[in-house]
């Protein structure tokens, strides 16, 4: 056996020790650091174990000021009532789900799973309203120093009305370091509101014209006093209320235009057929209903895809309702020309038949059509004005349909023939225009547009057999008020009646508003029988 010299062995041992010593020191340092970190974390949590809400709030403030990595999660769990301590022992837990009798829990320091707990084994720390407010402010302050600009902006917005002596210095320091103008503006408003509640009248200048409800609620009790600050606060509140009133008017106008857009869609097809053929179609509301049911059927065929279903329902509703219109014209209307009373009675009977057909096939129950995500919710312009996306979409859809119809009437051969028959049927026949064919296509076009109105209505209300009945009278009002057969008159009349009705409703109620609109239209027709836009030389 070969013997290794003693000197060589000692040298090898020294090299091995030199290699292992840094690793041992590093491991020992990490272990020591982990022990110190864990002991600090435990000390912070131990301070929460008190019966005093004030002391618990001070402990929460100490956690927020510490460098503990878990502090945000601890404070969030404390706010939600999910941070607690073992009733027997010194371990702290976070309850991940407190909906059942047994709670899944994790260790609050290491985040390791700790099995389950119950009310008998884990005591959750309780908070009151004052402590809840402090915790919300502390969490918002912590969020200001992390995340992207959008996250900081949300945190700054949450601070409005939540700045307290505990976090005011943190907010001021954050404001000094913040670069985003939007975040700075929110922080300045939050600090100004805090300063006003502390009696600083100069801070009111920052709050002038602010539409946030929290600002108004905070200033209202201050304005109720009788000192100089109260007087200045009342002046600021008056300015805020005046500004909100203008946005309320803008929102009323939007709702009126969206309601008017439905009237325009419902009436524009009726205006075309009434202008060309002189037919009072009492089944027009049922053609709207058919368009709505077509939308529902397409959505049933494409479950889970409301956006695609709606895109297919637009041409589908037009074609199905238009086909019904052509059948009605070919089987009923063409034999009753020149007999308006009989046409009215016949189409009224058709409306009853179509309603009963729908009840038999689909049942009398209302059906719900789901809107795609991009038509749900609202577009929040500011604190006082928001536009619901489904109504905004219907308004844009109405304008698009109107533009398409105007282009059809203006630039196509069918539009030229329709205008010729509307102005002088006999002369149009003498020029070789097949009036009966024009009547059929016009009635089908008007029915198809009614189907589009049903597609739009399905995004605002449930679909049922009586869906179109609520719009037939209003549609005739729009046609007569705007001028028979005139597209621009229908648009102006529909939007005007929608806005007027929306303005009157808060004052007199929905029923009386409709009565006043009806009386107003009757008086207008007495003075101007041709409507807003007079037809150009129409003869029967």
Measure the CA–CA gap between 209 and 111, rounded to whole angstroms. 47
Domain assignment of residue 55, yes or no: no
Query: How many Cβ atoms sit within 10 Å of the Cβ of residue 422?
Result: 26
Q: Name the token pair of 319.
A: 């074609």
Specify the pLDDT at position 34: 40
Specify the pLDDT at position 10: 53
Helices (H), 144-180: 149-158, 168-177
Measure the CA–CA gap between 130 and 6, rounded to whole angstroms. 76
Measure the CA–CA gap between 480 and 532, rounded to whole angstroms. 9
Over residues 103-123, mean pLDDT: 86
Over residues 494-520, mean pLDDT: 82
Q: Name the token pair of 125.
A: 């720390």
Measure the CA–CA gap between 61 and 399, rounded to whole angstroms. 56
Q: For residue 473, give the nearest of 502, 509, 515 by alpha carbon.
A: 515
Query: How many Cβ atoms sit within 10 Å of the Cβ of residue 225?
Result: 12
Measure the CA–CA gap between 195 and 37, rounded to whole angstroms. 38
Measure the CA–CA gap between 169 and 402, rounded to whole angstroms. 58
pLDDT at 515 over 90: no
Over residues 397-415, mean pLDDT: 89
Over residues 474-498, mean pLDDT: 82
Q: Higher-confidence residue: 36 or 206?
A: 206
Measure the CA–CA gap between 260 and 258, rounded to whole angstroms. 5
Domain assignment of residue 254, yes or no: no
Long-range contacts of 523-526 (CB under 8 A, 24+ apart): 524/481, 525/480, 525/481
Specify the pLDDT at position 15: 44
Q: Name the token pair of 186.
A: 């929110």
- Rounded to the nearest integer, the mean pLDDT of the chain is 81
Q: Name the token pair of 5.
A: 């010299």
Residue numbers of the domain that contains 307: 260-469
Q: For residue 68, give the nearest of 57, 58, 60 by alpha carbon.
A: 60
Specify the pLDDT at position 4: 47
Burial of 94 (0-12, 13-18, 19+ CB in 10 A): buried
Burial of 165 (0-12, 13-18, 19+ CB in 10 A): exposed
Specify the pLDDT at position 26: 47
- Using CA atoms, how far residue 198 sits from 162, 191, 240, 490, in Å, is 13, 11, 21, 58
Q: For residue 482, give the nearest of 278, 285, 281, 272 by alpha carbon.
A: 272
State pLDDT tens for residues 185-226: 888 888 888 888 888 888 888 888 888 888 888 888 888 878
Over residues 132-159, mean pLDDT: 75
Q: Transcribe 420-444 into DSSP letters.
A: HHHH-HHHHHHTT--HHHHHHHHHH
Domain assignment of residue 179, yes or no: no
pLDDT at 317 over 50: yes
pLDDT at 294 over 90: yes
From the CA atom positions of the chain, what is the Rg in Å? 36
Over residues 119-123, mean pLDDT: 86
Query: How many Cβ atoms sit within 10 Å of the Cβ of residue 358?
Result: 21
Residue 466: strand, helix, or coil: coil
Over residues 106-113, mean pLDDT: 85
> Looking up tokens 């509101």, which residue turns up?
193
pLDDT at 69 over 80: no
Burial of 447 (0-12, 13-18, 19+ CB in 10 A): buried
Q: Which helix (H) or strand (E) holds 398?
A: helix 389-411
pLDDT at 461 over 50: yes
Domain assignment of residue 373, yes or no: yes
Q: Which helix (H) or strand (E) holds 475?
A: helix 469-482
534 close to 481: Cβ distance less than 8 angstroms: no
Domain assignment of residue 462, yes or no: yes
Query: What is the number of domains present in the chain?
Result: 1
Over residues 247-256, mean pLDDT: 89
Residue 116: strand, helix, or coil: strand
Measure the CA–CA gap between 16 and 20, rounded to whole angstroms. 6
Measured in whole angstroms, how far is the alpha carbon of residue 112 from the centre of its chain?
40
Domain assignment of residue 417, yes or no: yes
User: What's the whole-model pTM score?
Assistant: 0.70
Measure the CA–CA gap between 512 and 528, rounded to whole angstroms. 24
Measured in whole angstroms, how far is the alpha carbon of residue 5 from the centre of its chain?
86
Specify the pLDDT at position 6: 46
Helices (H), 159-227: 168-177, 181-197, 204-207, 213-223
Domain assignment of residue 36, yes or no: no
454 close to 288: Cβ distance less than 8 angstroms: yes
Specify the pLDDT at position 54: 86
Specify the pLDDT at position 399: 92
Domain assignment of residue 29, yes or no: no
Measure the CA–CA gap between 240 and 215, rounded to whole angstroms. 10
pLDDT at 507 over 70: yes
Residue 4: strand, helix, or coil: coil
Query: How many Cβ atoms sit within 10 Å of the Cβ of residue 428?
Result: 20
- Which residues is 86 bridged to in the sheet? 122
């Amino acid at each position: 056996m070969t013997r290794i010299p003693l000197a060589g062995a000692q040298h090898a041992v020294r090299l091995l020790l030199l290699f292992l010593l840094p690793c041992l020191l590093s491991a020992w340092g990490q272990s020591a650091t982990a022990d110190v970190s864990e002991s600090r974390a435990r000390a912070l949590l131990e301070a929460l174990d008190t019966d005093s809400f004030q002391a618990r709030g001070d402990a929460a403030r100490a956690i927020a000021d510490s460098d503990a990595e878990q502090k945000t999660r601890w404070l969030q769990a404390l706010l939600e009532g999910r941070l607690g301590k073992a009733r027997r022992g010194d371990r702290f837990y976070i309850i991940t789900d407190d909906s059942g009798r047994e709670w899944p829990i994790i260790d609050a320091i290491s985040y390791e799973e700790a099995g389950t707990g119950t009310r008998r084994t884990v005591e959750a720390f309780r908070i009151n309203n004052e402590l809840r407010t402090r915790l919300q402010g502390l969490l918002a302050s912590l969020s200001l120093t992390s995340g992207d600009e959008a996250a900081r902006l949300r945190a700054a917005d949450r601070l409005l009305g939540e700045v307290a002596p505990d976090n005011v210095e943190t907010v001021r320091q954050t404001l000094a370091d913040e670069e985003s103008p939007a975040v700075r503006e929110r922080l300045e408003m939050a600090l100004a509101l805090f300063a006003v509640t502390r009696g600083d009248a100069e801070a009111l200048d920052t709050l002038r014209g602010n539409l946030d409800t929290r600002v108004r609620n905070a200033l209202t009790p201050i304005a109720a006093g009788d000192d100089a600050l109260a007087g200045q606060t009342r002046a600021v509140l008056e300015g805020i209320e005046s500004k909100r009133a203008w946005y309320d008017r803008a929102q009323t106008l939007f709702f009126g235009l969206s309601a008017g857009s439905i009237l325009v869609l419902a009436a524009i097809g009726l205006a075309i057929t009434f202008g060309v053929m002189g037919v009072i179609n009492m089944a027009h509301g049922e053609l709207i209903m058919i368009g709505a049911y077509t939308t529902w059927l397409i959505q049933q065929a494409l479950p889970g895809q409301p956006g695609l279903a709606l895109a297919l329902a637009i041409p589908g509703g037009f074609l199905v309702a238009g086909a019904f219109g052509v059948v009605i014209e070919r089987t009923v209307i063409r034999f009753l020309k020149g007999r308006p009373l009989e046409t009215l009675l016949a189409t009224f009977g058709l409306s009853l038949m179509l309603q009963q057909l729908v009840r038999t096939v689909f049942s009398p129950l209302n059906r719900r059509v789901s809107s795609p995500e991009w038509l749900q919710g609202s577009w929040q312009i500011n604190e006082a004005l928001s536009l619901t996306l489904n109504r905004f979409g219907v308004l844009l859809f109405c304008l698009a349909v109107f533009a398409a119809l105007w282009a059809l009437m203006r630039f196509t051969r069918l539009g030229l023939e329709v205008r010729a028959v509307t102005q002088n049927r006999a002369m149009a026949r003498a020029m070789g225009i097949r009036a009966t064919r024009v009547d059929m296509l016009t009635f089908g076009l008007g029915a198809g547009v009614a189907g589009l109105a049903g597609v739009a209505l399905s995004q605002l209300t449930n679909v049922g057999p009586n869906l179109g009945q609520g719009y037939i009278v209003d549609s005739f009002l729009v046609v007569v008020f705007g001028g028979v057969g005139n597209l621009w008159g229908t648009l102006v009349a529909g939007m005007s009646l929608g806005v007027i009705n929306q303005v009157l409703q808060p004052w007199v109620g929905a029923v009386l508003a409709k009565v006043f609109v009806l009386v107003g239209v009757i008086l207008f027709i007495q003075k101007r029988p041709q409507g807003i836009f007079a037809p150009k030389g129409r003869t029967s």
